[in-house]
Amino acid sequence: MTSSKLLLMLGVAAAVLPGAALAQQAPVQPTTPATTQTPPPQTPAPRAQAAEPAEQQPASVGDVVVNARANDVRTSIDSTSYSLANDLQATTGSLADALRNVPSVDVDPGGNVSLRGDANVTILVDGRPSGILTGPGRGQALIQLPASQYARIEVMTNPSAAYSPEGSGGVINLITKPTAPKPGTQSTGSLRVNLGDNGRWNAGLSGSYQKDRLTLSGDASYRSDPTELIFTRTREQLDPVSGAVVSTTTVDQPVESEQNGAFARFTAEYKLDDKTQLTGELRGVAFDGSGTGDGLFETRNAAGAVTNAYRRAGDSDFTFNNWGATARVLRRFDGDGHEWSNELRYDSNANDTTGQTLTTFLTLASAALYERTKTEVDQVTWGFTSAYTRPMSDGGKLRLGYELNAQRPEQDAEFLRGPSEAALSPVPALNNRFEATQTVHAPLHHL
Q: What is the DSSP string of 103-134?
A: TTEEE-TT--EEETTB--EEEEETTEE-STTS
* Boundaries of every domain in the chain: 70-178, 182-446
Q: How far apart are CA 290 and CA 222, in angstroms?
A: 17
Q: Supply the Cα-derived Rg of the chain in whole angstroms.
A: 39
φ, ψ of residue 22 in degrees (nearest 5) = -65, -35
DSSP three-state, residue 67: coil
Q: pLDDT value at position 10?
A: 35
pLDDT digits (tens, 9 = 90+) for 403-419: 999 999 999 999 999 99
pLDDT digits (tens, 9 = 90+) for 212-229: 889 898 889 999 989 888
Q: Which of 376, 442, 380, 388 is nearest to 415 (CA)?
A: 376
Q: How far apart are CA 96 and CA 81, in angstroms?
A: 17
Looking at residue 26, the DSSP 8-state letter turns out to be S
Type of residue numbered 75: T
Q: Which of 52, 63, 137, 32 is nearest to 381 (CA)?
A: 137
Q: How far apart are CA 327 and CA 110, in angstroms?
A: 32
Type of residue numbered 387: A
With 0-12 / 13-18 / 19 or more C-beta atoms within 10 angstroms meaning exposed / middle / buried, residue 27 is exposed
Contact, 323 vs 294, CB < 8 A?
no
Contacts of residue 293, defined as CB under 8 A and 6 or more positions apart, other chains included, come to: 253, 254, 255, 256, 312, 313, 314, 315
DSSP three-state, residue 422: helix
Q: How far apart are CA 411 and CA 414, in angstroms?
A: 10
Type of residue numbered 125: V
Looking at residue 24, the DSSP 8-state letter turns out to be H
Q: pLDDT value at position 247?
A: 95
Contacts of residue 430, defined as CB under 8 A and 6 or more positions apart, other chains included, come to: 413, 415
Q: Which of 329, 331, 332 is nearest to 343 (CA)?
A: 329
Q: How far apart are CA 417 and CA 408, in angstroms?
A: 30
Pairing of strands 121-125, 73-75: unpaired
What are the angstrom distances between the C-alpha of 296 and each of 225, 285, 367?
A: 26, 36, 17
Assigned CATH for 70-178:
2.170.130.10
Contacts of residue 49, defined as CB under 8 A and 6 or more positions apart, other chains included, come to: none
Q: Which of 47, 234, 82 is nearest to 153 (CA)?
A: 82
Q: pLDDT value at position 392?
A: 83
Contact, 279 vs 330, CB < 8 A?
yes
Q: Give, for all 447 residues of the chain, the pLDDT tens digit.
A: 444 443 333 343 333 334 443 333 444 444 444 444 444 545 454 554 445 555 566 666 666 766 655 567 777 767 788 888 777 767 777 888 888 888 889 888 778 888 888 888 888 888 777 767 776 667 777 877 778 778 889 898 777 666 665 656 788 888 887 655 556 678 888 888 888 888 889 898 888 888 888 989 888 999 998 988 898 999 999 999 999 999 999 999 999 999 999 999 899 999 898 889 999 999 999 999 999 999 999 999 999 999 999 999 999 999 999 999 999 999 988 767 789 999 999 999 999 999 999 999 999 888 999 999 999 999 999 999 999 988 887 767 788 999 999 999 999 999 999 999 899 999 999 999 999 999 999 887 766
Q: How far apart are CA 401 and CA 340, in angstroms?
A: 9
Q: How far apart are CA 41 and CA 37, in angstroms?
A: 12
